[in-house]
Chains A and B, each alone.
Chain A
Amino acid sequence: MRIEDKFTDLKEKKEKALIAYVCAGDPSAEATKEIVHSLVKGGADIVELGLPFSDPVADGPTIEAASTRALSAGMNPDLYFEMAASIKENVPLVCMTYYNLIYKRGTEKFARDCAESGITGIIVPDLPAEEADELHEACKNNGVDLIFLITPVTTESRMKNNLDRTSGFVYIVSRLGVTGERVDVADSTKKILGNIHTDVPKAVGFGISNGQQAAEVIKAGADAVIVGSAFVNIIASGDNINNRLENLAFELKESCKQ
């Protein structure tokens, strides 16, 4: 399923989107399939499947630890695409990974592998628009969305460039820092949402972990909330994870319906 179609559906239902991130292969490839199922059952509209990298500089300790667990459990790009292809949930899957894994596989092959395994979007946190020509072209050739990021310190000229290039949605980093749960949703979220003018859906991530925060972000004008570390923490705990993931997804999704 394409990301664009998902947002069109949701618009008709007057709902906003819940985008859930988990790291593929944490704790195992088999478990990830069940985890995705639970998230979708709870209400996730789009699932970001992290492809773990050894040096994830944009991620905080929670997701770094998840990546380490996944790599130790044997996750690799070949296995990743195999597993993605076996997921039959009716939601768009988005790949989040670092550029070296894409570069090493070859940009064209990577984009083709995404398309063939049912992954419809790619997010690369260490690939700014300036360096993205090759991957952008490969994504276009294969009908895969390449999703760019906007942050509280993105300058006006960069903002325009990133918005022009992004498709599917634009990933708004709500605050400075790495991924991870936060107590409050920063005022900068409201400010940054006020400054972005685009027809592409606006998805806000970094620091959102509960329904109340999600509701605040939606109220501030977001079309989607992205939640990662809160789900990853549940997985890390190893305790009754599928029920708890479903419940948290449900709580967050409820906030996206108001």
Chain B
Amino acid sequence: MKKSMYGKFGGQFVPEVLMPALEELEEAYEHYKDDPEFRAELDYYMTEFAGRETPLYFARNLSKKYGIKIYLKREDLVHGGAHKLNNTLGQALLAKYMKKERIIAETGAGQHGTATAMAAANMGFKSEVYMGAKDVIRQHMNVYRMELMGCKVHAVESGSKTLKDAINEALRDWVTNVENTHYLIGSVVGPHPYPMIVRDFQSVIGKEVKEQIMEKEGRYPDSIVACAGGGSNAMGIFHPFIENKEVKLFPVEAGGKEMKTTDKEALHSSSLCVGEEGILQGAHTLILQDKYGQILESSSVSAGLDYSGVGPELAHLAEIGRIKPCNVNDDEALEAFYELSRLEGIIPALESSHAVAYVMKMAKTGELGDLVVISLSGRGDKDLETVFRLKEEEAKEEKEGCM
């Protein structure tokens, strides 16, 4: 197997002009990842700036209602409000060691963009973030946050105006400015070495869970549940447990409105569940595509899961049966959003709400076991407007229905 592959997935399907940059990045990463100075500096940022470690919180009320022990890994408490900063700090530091001047990124919900802007501002980089025009509207507070931190945000008007198109635009920028620019990819997607690098930086989540659950329960959980768009928080919490075969791993995808696929768009984002093998944005992975291989536009209430592909390592783990892909739809995710807010006083991101929803749905079936850890990948403040708008629309529809 080539080192860039996860089983048959992965690889480096990028324009020739980027190949030297990927080689340079891989070399730098291999050189610094165990370098004591690099590690010490990263630890400093993780502790003092990001606020690690995050708690593993026993969700008492949720557990009581659903009849199993549920713990929440509180990545929503990381500075910036999501797990994204774990990776951006790691990569920005790497870019600093590589003497790059400029950082670019793409963002869906805006969490990765915000985390990139934070890391860049803190370490003195110029930063520019590409974001689908549709997401700019959905998540305009995050746009403002990025701008406050000195980051330039580009609204991408092409294609479906979401994450996929933002990635295309960021790749185009990188192709043009590859000599002085680091492309800070925000998930376990794209060409090698990105899926590996992002996974490694995010693995801090799972490593902490291992110690924390041992301390609290004296054993590993029966199941770990995490939402998966590209899959960075999922890989981050799963990876340290891959060898622990007794722990079931559930990546929860966005089932969107319904699991139907039309010619031009999928009404969901469940590429692990129903995607087909193909090549998208640098990697051989599972993607939503038509019979000719044209990429289908995905759909989800949560901008961060609204992506037509998934990380290649997750595709591999699904193929060998180590993880169990599943999904919940928009309505179920919204219900979980309300439920966790009311029961625990924690407003989850709409992305994380998918993971919570799956646990709510499956708790009684026995499928998850008695002890479950949910990756609460981010907080829901950024989604308040989306949810508010949905409520308004719903009220309007009900009113019209009565007339």
Contact = CB atoms under 8 A, between A and B. Distances in A.
A71 B295 CA distance: 12
Contact of B12 (A131, A148, A150): A131
A210 interface: no
A68 B161 CA distance: 14
Among A57, A102, A126, A131, find the residue whose CB has the most chain B CB atoms closer than 10 A: A57
A211 B326 CA distance: 57
Contacts of B282: 126
Contacts of B281: 55, 57
Nearest to B177: A176
A7 to B, nearest CB: 22
A211 B160 CA distance: 37
Given A71-B294, A176-B179, A104 B20 contact: no
Interface residues of B, number: 36
A151 interface: yes
B292 A57 contact: no
B289 interface: yes
Interface residues of A, number: 42
Contact of A154 (B11, B13, B16): B16
Contacts of A61: 158
Nearest to B277: A103
A81 B13 CA distance: 24
A101 interface: yes
A57 B168 contact: yes
Nearest to B157: A61
B172 A131 contact: no
Interface string B247-288: 000000000000000000000000000000111111010010
Given A57-B172, A177-B176, A178-B175, A128 B158 contact: no
Contact of A101 (B20, B176, B292): B292
Interface string B283-322: 0100101011111000000000000000000000000000
A177 B13 contact: no
Given A154-B16, A173-B16, A176-B17, A103 B278 contact: yes
B159 A126 contact: no
A229 B93 CA distance: 39
Interface string B161-175: 000100010011001
Contacts of A57: 14-15, 168, 171-172, 175, 281
B346 interface: no
Interface in A72-131: 76-78, 98-105, 125-128, 130-131
A77 B289 CA distance: 14
Contact of A153 (B178, B278, B280): B178
B137 interface: no
Contact of A100 (B158, B178, B278): B278
Nearest to A132: B13
7 contacts: A55-B159, A55-B168, A58-B15, A103-B279, A127-B13, A154-B17, A173-B17
